[in-house]
Amino acid sequence: MSMTGFDLSFRHLCSPYTTLRFEFPTQTRRKIQYGCTCTAGRPALCSTSASSTAVSDSNENHVGTSYGRRTMISMITILFPLHRSMQHSCANAADDLLLLQEEIRKVLTKGKAAGVLRLVFHDAGTYEIDENSGGMNGSISYELDRPENKGLKKSLKILLEAKKTVDETITVSMSDVIAVAGAEAVSLCGGPKIPVQLGRLDSMVPDPEGKLPEETLDAIGLKQSFKRKGFSTQELVALSGAHTLGSKGFGSPIIFDNSYYKVLLEKPWLSSGGMTSMVGLPSDRALIEDDECLRWISKYADDQDLFFEDFKNAYIKLVNSGAKWKRNS
């Protein structure tokens, strides 16, 4: 720390730190070299005689130094408590997330991962940009009797167990629980680690019906549906890779990898007879017939790391779509 300025580095906050450098006004640190530089506001420092120049310089330097010190102390008084407050807030958020992750891991198994990940998609997948409706808001709790959500009651039930335990310490929304649980399901099965922010607010009513992409859509219909939700074709293909988990026939049902894309390229459903004809949904098979989708399918089949990175980014976007946030988040 010097009289010309000081650095405050926020190195332990939630976002990448920024170094802030405060420079005091030049007049507070300069040395007077050329006679009297007083203004009408400082008459006591003035003298018209040459013999008083040294005294004037001394007084000017003393006042400048004093002013600089007061300014620096004032800055520190304001900024250091803010720095500590931000650190405390981020530390609390990290602790809350860790607690939620630990409780989810207690109830989640690889065999349940596909169902939990499907729960994420069916809660967040109702989002529509133009209508500003749906999205990641926990409304799936009110929509379980809809045909497209068949089988999700079990997945929600195990997450409610985790939520009940967490709520004894902190209050967490159902939408936060679902978003974090999906990320944990992917990680548990060997996929990428996905950071999820907490602070979503839950809806108290169901989302409008008919907003999820239908399983019978062709590639054009799928791209149009995802576009209405704010997702590109690349993001559509990346998110579709979640079908590598579960019983749809893409590799191991409990391993998250790029098998989905490799199997799509093989088109096993074209083989006569056997279970190969049951691989994937109609919407999965439609992707391989679209040139734009095929380009991304080929990339992900060749490069699992690329798939993991793109899936992570698309997942974060998905669980933030349509979310309403607490003010302090």
Residues serving a catalytic function are: 122
Cα–Cα–Cα angle for 192, 193, 195, rounded to 5 degrees: 135
Helix 174-188 to helix 304-320 angle (10° resolution) is 170
Nearest to 258 by CA among 216, 318, 309: 309
Residue bearing tokens 């060997």? 190
Spatial neighbors of 154 by CB under 8 A, at least 6 apart, are 112, 115
Under the phi-then-psi rule, with left for phi > 0, alpha for psi from -120 to 50, and beta for the rest, what region is 169?
A: alpha
Q: Tokens 């809350």 identify what position?
A: 96
Spatial CB neighbours of 270, under 8 Å, sequence gap ≥ 6:
none
* Structure-derived torsion over alpha carbons of residues 275, 280, 286, 291, reported in degrees to the nearest 10: -100
Residues 258 and 297 sit within 8 Å (Cβ to Cβ): no
